[in-house]
Structure 1
Amino acid sequence: MSNIVLLVVDVQNALIDEHPYNEQRVIENIKNLIITARDNQKEVLFVRHDDGKGTELENGTHGWQIYDEVSPNGDELIIEKHYNSAFRRTGLKEYLDKKNVDTIILVGLQTEYCIDVTCKSAFDYDYKIIIPEETNTTFDNDYLSGEKLYEFYNYKIWNKRFAEVIPVEDVKRLLTMPT
């Protein structure tokens, strides 16, 4: 069996306060996965983006804080990042390697930015990536709606190329399996 972690990326107040696509469903699914992981002694790792001084994601501000409904327990690791990739200059890969992790369940924001780059970086490092359906989200932009971006990345870019995009219930079953 694989050594698996749940990686929760950039579910921060400033982003949730802007109400991304499918917000409530995504938050509920992430919360349920966190509970299932914790109940089954699977590690939950959090990634928090610091966009720099004067931004909505400035270190120490309300917007930078991890959203309360999915916040870490006191003993859960928070990886701080300054780039779209959760791996770039963060120590995440070294940490995962030390723990012999081979499978990452990837959830969070934003689909076309930090989730996409983190997914592809993890793929380049030979991790198996699982993306539960309706656990990542983003916003409308000048070209596509948040819904279209979600569908495009999950089902045209990632699934069966860089990751497995599978139903949340299937992921919950994976989390209940012994390591």
Structure 2
Amino acid sequence: MSSSVLLVVDVQTALIKEHPYNEKKVIGNIKKLISIARDSNKEVLYVRHDDGIGEELEYGTDGWQIYHEIAPNKDERVFEKKCNSAFFKTGLKEYLESKKIDTIILTGLQTEYCIDATLKSAFDNGYSVIIPEQTNTTFDNEYLSGEKLYEFYNYKIWNNRFAKVLSVDEVSKILFR
């Protein structure tokens, strides 16, 4: 039987204040999954990005904090990172191995950066990855809208290659196992 964890990546105050694509739905869905995971005694892990001194995600600033609506409980682990992948020099892989986790339910920001890098690192490390629909998001850029980036990565790049993209209801059933 598989052992899963809910991983919440870079849902930080400064990023949410910039209003990424579909933010209210994404936050609502992440909140729902956190609640279900906690009620089911599944671990919720958080990852927080530090961009360095003078940046909007500078360590210790208000913008760097995990967004208050989905903030961790005192007993939940937060892994700090400085690169896109949550696996790069964070201790996450070692922690997951120590808990015998084989499935990661991945949520957070930004779709084409830290979520993509984390997903592919997880895949490369042998984890099964599940992406709940409408639980990752990003911003418009000069090439594509946040919506198009979300759709492209979730349904063209990730689904049935690096991960399974499932509805929040399907993922909720997995968390209850």
Same-fold call, TM cutoff 0.5: yes
Instruction: Say whether 1:72 aligns with 2:90.
Output: no
Between the aligned partners of 1:173 and 1:22, the Cα distance in structure 2 is 24
Alignment of 1:5 with 2:5, yes or no, is yes
Percent identical among aligned pairs is: 71
Partner of 2:40: 40
CA positional deviation for 1:138: 0.1
Match of 1:176 in 2: 176
Unaligned 5+ runs, structure 1: none
Shift of 1:13: 0.2
TM, length-normalised to structure 2: 1.00
Counterparts of 1:63 and 1:152, CA distance in 2 = 28
Counterpart-to-counterpart distance in 1, 2:167 and 2:18: 26
Partner SS for 1:144: coil
Deviation >2 Å, runs of 4+: none
Q: How many residues align?
A: 177
Q: What do you get for the CA RMSD once the two structures are aligned?
A: 0.3
> What does residue range 132-171 of structure 1 map to in structure 2 within 5 Å?
132-171=132-171
The secondary structure found in structure 2 opposite 1:101 is: coil
Give the drift of 1:114: 0.1
Give the match's secondary structure for 1:169. Answer: helix
What residue number does 1:15 align with?
15
**Distance in structure 1 (CA, Å) of the matches to 2:155 and 2:144:** 15
Cα separation, 2, equivalents of 1:95 and 1:122: 13
Distance between the aligned counterparts of 2:38 and 2:51, measured in 1?
A: 29
Structure 1 length-normalised TM: 0.99
* Structure 1 partner of 2:26: 26
Question: Is 2:60 the counterpart of 1:87?
Answer: no
Deviations 1:1-32 (A, max 9, x none): 21100000000000000000000000000000
**1: CA distance between counterparts of 2:100 and 2:9?**
20
1:90-129, Cα deviation, whole Å (9 max, x unpaired):
0100000000000000000000000000000000000000
CA distance in 1, matches of 2:47, 2:90: 10
Separation of aligned partners in 2, 1:57 and 1:130: 27
CA distance in structure 2 between the partners assigned to 1:47 and 1:88 by the alignment: 11
Partner letter of residue 29 of structure 2? Answer: N
What is the one-letter code of the residue matched to 2:86? A
Q: Are 1:61 and 2:61 counterparts?
A: yes
